[in-house]
Structure 1
Amino acid sequence: MVSVSVIVPCYNSEGTLSECLESLVNQSYDDINQIIVVDNGSTDNSKTIANSYPVNTFDYTAIQGSYAARNFGIKQTNSELIAFTDADCTPHHDWIAQLVSCYQSSSADLVGGSVDFNFSTNSTFEIHDATTSMNNKRLVKERGSSVTANLLVRASIFEDIGLFPADLRSGGDVKWTRSAVRSGYEITYCETATIKHPTRNSIELFKKYYRLGYGEGQKIKNSGNITILKRISISLLPRPFSYIRRDLNFNNMSASRLTLLQLFFVGWICRMIQGYGKINGIKSKVESN
């Protein structure tokens, strides 16, 4: 049986961490070598919660960011495979077993799993989040990438192409997995390896889009003024209704005309916030150079 280490970055996650770790310590897979929680400077009770479970808890505050925390965790591993999830995710009890099964039954070096959403109020904001965020099936099959909310990686790949981009606040997982595929490694999608993720309310959603934009701004800092202006301008445009319907259909969801209109405006606001974050991400890089 192949050995697996699990890495969970953590920052002020006291509301969700217990459920995540409870699931991880009760996984059906027998050869989980390590469950590593990397606390990235939490000011709540996250570390106390982590210490109450039979997991390896580390403090890492040199760089604020989940990718830097994951990189620190990677350096502590000693397994053939590394699985990643987030502190606000709840893996199914056979999550690791399914990831490993997909890995062993294919020629893939990376496996991205399914991200399902838990709704609390079924608001427009939650519907938008569920239909646009972390659609890992589409990422894997159409873009050759995956989110770290549900990802299995052969550990030696990090030795070959390097770690996650530690300076990015968002999007570093998609960038790294795409780089791995472009370097000749193969990625596959595992529908049966599932984790649950809570949908975001309005404030959480706006924060997420700002963070996404900030990370994108960091990534395009050296792209030239014309490209930068183009990318910012695109962020200010609303998504067509056809895209909204496509996302709903892809997630086996339907909506009334009123809900479609609400989703249109919620998406537009999110895109403008993302554009603002993108500008600040570019500026922060320019100022630091």
Structure 2
Amino acid sequence: MTALENQTFGEEYRVTGHIDVFSINKKMKAFECYESISAFNQLQNLKDGFLVTANLLVRAKLFKRVVLFDEHPFSGGDKEWTRSATALGHKIKYVPNSIVNHPARSTWPEMTQKLRRTTGGKITIFPDYKISAFRSFFPPIEAASHIIKHKNSNLRVKTLVFLVAYRIQALLIFFINKKRAIHTRAYMREHLP
């Protein structure tokens, strides 16, 4: 909060800043490396037209003016809400020294829990969201491009991040198909006699 104490913003502003993903270990584990590069890139999110709520300040009046925040059990409500606010013309102020520290997920169970939640959110928000099973056999080229460009990481970290990204890409196929089957069964129970 100290980064914002001497600044004033109009009611129409949403204020955001950097999210620092940290590890409690001296030497980061593979999943922590992955999170340090791939999670919470608020500047990129800003360019893509949304923000995550891990570092977002909004006045109560503005929050109530925008569509209700969807608190469904999956993920993505923050993206929907911030996109709605942007569509209504509400501005975003990025304050670089407004920093939130967020612990990196460090184990495979923590990572799969996040993947289930985020994949469920994508399917809930975008019912046509798909990933080709064929694609899961190939290296994650888009992720590799992002990993290579990351300036503050050494070769060990970049290699670990790439391997985790590859493993996640293959697992996403399973989650998407499973979530789609669950949604289809729920829809059928609700809408068919």
TM bucket normalised to smaller = 0.7 to 0.9
**2:110 aligned with 1:220:** no
Do 1:115 and 1:196's aligned partners in 2 also have CA atoms closer than 8 Å?
yes
Cα contact 1:215–1:281 (8 A) shared by 2: no
Runs of 5+ in structure 2 lacking a partner?
Answer: none
Map of 1:249 onto structure 2 = 149
Instruction: Pick from 137, 146, 153 the counterpart of residue 51 of structure 2.
Output: 146
**Offset of 1:212 from its aligned partner?**
0.5
For CA contacts below 8 A with separation 6 or more, give which structure has more relative contact order.
2
Residues 1:169 and 2:74 are matched in the alignment: yes
Secondary structure at 2:97's aligned position in 1? strand
- Residue of structure 2 in register with 1:240 after alignment: 140
2:33 paired residue number: 127
- Using the TM superposition, give the Cα deviation of residue 112 of structure 1 relative to its aligned residue in structure 2, in angstroms: 1.5
* Contact 2:34/2:161, CA 8 A, preserved across alignment: no
* Equivalent residue runs for 1:64-213 within 5 Å: 96-99=1-4, 101=6, 104=8, 109-119=13-23, 120=25, 121-140=27-46, 142-200=47-105, 201-213=107-119
CA displacement at 1:157 relative to structure 2: 1.6
Counterpart selection for 2:167 from 255, 259, 266: 266
- 3-state secondary structure, aligned to 1:97: coil
Counterpart-to-counterpart distance in 2, 1:268 and 1:143: 21
More strand as a share of residues: 1
Three-state SS of the structure 1 residue aligned to 2:78 is: helix
- Give the percent of matched residue pairs that are identical in Structure 1 and Structure 2: 23
SS in 1 for 2:35: helix
TM-superposed CA distance for 1:278, in Å, is 4.2
Mapped to 2, the partners of 1:217 and 1:97 lie a distance apart of 38
1:279 lines up with 2:185 in the alignment? no
**TM-score normalised by L of structure 2:** 0.78
SS at match of 2:51: coil
Q: 1:168 to 1:188 in 2, by over 3 A?
A: farther
Q: 1 CA distance for matches of 2:68 and 2:104? A: 29
Q: Secondary structure at the match of 2:3?
A: helix
**Shift in alpha-carbon separation, 1:281–1:240, aligned structure 2, 3 A:** same
CA contact (8 A) 1:117 1:197 kept: yes
Bigger shift: residues 201-210 or 272-281: 272-281
Question: Does the C-alpha gap of structure 1 residues 248 and 164 become closer, same or farther in structure 2, counting only changes over 3 Å?
Answer: farther
Q: What TM-score do you get using the length of structure 1 for normalisation? A: 0.55
Alpha-carbon distance change, 234 to 167 in structure 1, aligned in 2, over 3 angstroms: same
Q: Classify 1:108/1:251 alpha carbon distance in 2 versus 1 (closer, same or farther; 3 Å).
A: farther
